[in-house]
Structure 1
Amino acid sequence: MRTELVSEPGDPARPNEDFASVGLPASGQGGTVVVLDGVTPPQGGTGCLHSVPWFTARLGGALTELTVSLPDVPLADALSAALARTADAHRETCDLSHPRTPQATVVVVRWSPGSVEYLILSDSALLVEAPDGTVTPYLDDRLSRLPRSALATDAMVDADLRNKEGGFFTAAADPSVAQRAVTGTLPRSGVRALAALTDGATRWVEKFGAGDWGDLFDVVRKEGAQALVDRVRALELADTERRFLRRGKTHDDATVVFVEF
């Protein structure tokens, strides 16, 4: 088995808000990948004393431990338990009902000798390569399907769409949101390799249109995860007129985890 993990902050002067881990149980019979993309809040309060990196470290650590130590517990239930544990860590000091309480997107993959389970919540991505080389994206596309007019301001998003029916969901303080995730199970024999990516890395496809998902997977497989991040950074710097980035950050935290069985 080959694993590779790259996580690079969008701004070296700011903490990386992404979290990534690869867990390989001592039994040697399986493994887990956890990737979180912390949601950068707009200017103003969040109702919380803690930073986004604090939250992603707590949630990511809990989720890694639970998915490795409890292999028979469904991924959505593991995420629910990790969210409850994280919420309990700051419930007494913070307003967890605030729409901008620290939150994150989630990708979790867990494999055993017979199966590969996955969970995706919000706009990070999972790519799965079959033995014949076909690459299939597994996405939670609810945010991308919303009309641009509905996303015009942060206030509109928070009031009408964030963690609401008809909008999109992120992992914040409510354990029940885990049941809103996109989940599924694949036969292990049908998976040759996989990649989990935050949207700072998927920009190569989703914002810049530099290739399709299969092309992106080829870059990671043949040139390495860092090569993909480097390509994204070059495209970001070249977009001086913001033709592609528009109102988005010039650079975003970018994380890529690659696993080849």
Structure 2
Amino acid sequence: MRTELVSEPGDPARPNEDFASVALPASGQGGVLVALDGVTPPRSETGCLHSVPWFTARLGGALTELTVSLPDVPLVDALARAIAVTAGTHAQTCDLSHPRTPQATVVLTRWSARAVEYLVLSDSAFLVESPDGAVTAYLDDRLSRLPRASLATDALIDAHIRNKEGGFFTAAADPSVAGRAVTGVVPRGDVRALAALTDGATRWVEKFREGDWADCFRLVRKEGARELVDRVRALERADAEERAYLGRSKTHDDATVVYAEL
């Protein structure tokens, strides 16, 4: 088995809000991959005393521990438990009902000798390569399908879209949101390698249109996770003035790529 993990902040002067881990149980069989993309809050009040990196570290740590130590617990239940545990650490000091309480997108996968389980919540990506080289992208595309007008302002998003029916969902303080995730199981024999990407890395496909998901996966497998992040950064710098691709998006975003050959 071979793994590779690269995570880089969009701005070196700011903490990286992503979280990533790969864990291999002591039995030597199977493994777990966790990738979270913390949601950068607006400058206004969030109802919480804590930062997004504080939140992603705790949620990611809880997810890693639960999925490794409880291999028979479904991923949806593991995420719900991790959200509840994390919420419990600051429920007495913070307003967890605030729409901008710290939150994150989630990619979670666990593999054994028999199967590869996966869970995707919001706009990160989970890619699976089969033994014949075919690549399948497992995505939660609800955010991308929303009318752009509904995303015009933070106020509109918070009032009508964020963690609302008909909108999109992220892991925040409500454990029931785990049930909204995209989930599935792939037979272990159908998986040669897999990768998780936060949306700072998926820009290579989704924003700059440099290739499709199969092209992206092959780039990571052949040239490494670092090369994908470096290419995204070069594309961002080239478009920083004209913003033909970036539009209103931040020039650089936190970018995380986790790759595993099983």
Tell me, in whole angstroms, the C-alpha distance in 2 between the residues paired with 1:79 and 1:218. Answer: 30
Q: Which residue of 2 aligns with 1:169?
A: 169
- The CA deviation at 1:29 is 1.1
The DSSP-based 3-state class of the residue aligned with 2:7 is: strand
Residues 13-64 of structure 1: CA deviation (Å, up to 9, x unaligned)? 0000000000100001110000000000011010000000000000000000
The DSSP-based 3-state class of the residue aligned with 1:105 is: strand
Where does 1:131-150 land on structure 2 (aligned, <5 Å)? 131-150=131-150
Q: How many residues align?
A: 261
Tell me, in whole angstroms, the C-alpha distance in 1 between the residues paired with 2:218 and 2:191. Answer: 15
In structure 2, runs of 5+ residues without a counterpart are none
Tell me, in whole angstroms, the C-alpha distance in 2 between the residues paired with 1:157 and 1:192. Answer: 39
Q: Which residue of 2 aligns with 1:256?
A: 257
Runs of 4+ in 1 over 4 A off after TM superposition: none
Q: Which residue of 2 aligns with 1:246?
A: 247
- The CA deviation at 1:112 is 0.3
The DSSP-based 3-state class of the residue aligned with 1:167 is: coil
In structure 1, runs of 5+ residues without a counterpart are none
Report the AA paired with residue 247 of structure 2.
R
Q: Which residue of 2 aligns with 1:15?
A: 15
- What fraction of aligned residue pairs are identical, expressed as a percent? 79
The DSSP-based 3-state class of the residue aligned with 2:142 is: coil
Report the AA paired with residue 231 of structure 1.
R
Q: Which residue of 1 aligns with 2:214?
A: 214
Q: Which residue of 2 aligns with 1:190?
A: 190
TM-score (norm 2): 0.99
The DSSP-based 3-state class of the residue aligned with 2:54 is: helix
Question: Quick check: 1:29 aligned with 2:29?
Answer: yes
Report the AA paired with residue 225 of structure 2.
A
Tell me, in whole angstroms, the C-alpha distance in 1 between the residues paired with 2:11 and 2:219. Answer: 23
Residues 79-124 of structure 1: CA deviation (Å, up to 9, x unaligned)? 0000000000000000000000000000001000000000000000
Where does 1:48-127 land on structure 2 (aligned, <5 Å)? 48-127=48-127
Tell me, in whole angstroms, the C-alpha distance in 2 between the residues paired with 1:188 and 1:218. Answer: 20
Residues 191-216 of structure 1: CA deviation (Å, up to 9, x unaligned)? 00000000000000000001110110
Residues 59-86 of structure 1: CA deviation (Å, up to 9, x unaligned)? 0000000000000000000000000000
The DSSP-based 3-state class of the residue aligned with 2:12 is: coil
The DSSP-based 3-state class of the residue aligned with 2:20 is: strand
Report the AA paired with residue 175 of structure 2.
P
Report the AA paired with residue 63 of structure 2.
L
Report the AA paired with residue 121 of structure 2.
L
Tell me, in whole angstroms, the C-alpha distance in 2 between the residues paired with 1:215 and 1:146. Answer: 26
- The CA deviation at 1:255 is 0.2
Q: Which residue of 2 aligns with 1:128?
A: 128
Residues 132-152 of structure 1: CA deviation (Å, up to 9, x unaligned)? 100000000000000111111
The DSSP-based 3-state class of the residue aligned with 2:90 is: coil
Tell me, in whole angstroms, the C-alpha distance in 1 between the residues paired with 2:94 and 2:68. Answer: 29
Tell me, in whole angstroms, the C-alpha distance in 1 between the residues paired with 2:128 and 2:116. Answer: 10
The DSSP-based 3-state class of the residue aligned with 1:251 is: coil
Tell me, in whole angstroms, the C-alpha distance in 2 between the residues paired with 1:59 and 1:241. Answer: 37
TM-score (norm 1): 1.00
Tell me, in whole angstroms, the C-alpha distance in 1 between the residues paired with 2:160 and 2:190. Answer: 40
Report the AA paired with residue 162 of structure 2.
R
Residues 138-191 of structure 1: CA deviation (Å, up to 9, x unaligned)? 000000000111111110000000000000000000000000000000000000
Report the AA paired with residue 247 of structure 1.
R
| Cα RMSD after superposing both structures | 0.4
The DSSP-based 3-state class of the residue aligned with 1:196 is: strand
Tell me, in whole angstroms, the C-alpha distance in 2 between the residues paired with 1:185 and 1:218. Answer: 22
Q: Which residue of 1 aligns with 2:227?
A: 227
The DSSP-based 3-state class of the residue aligned with 2:229 is: helix
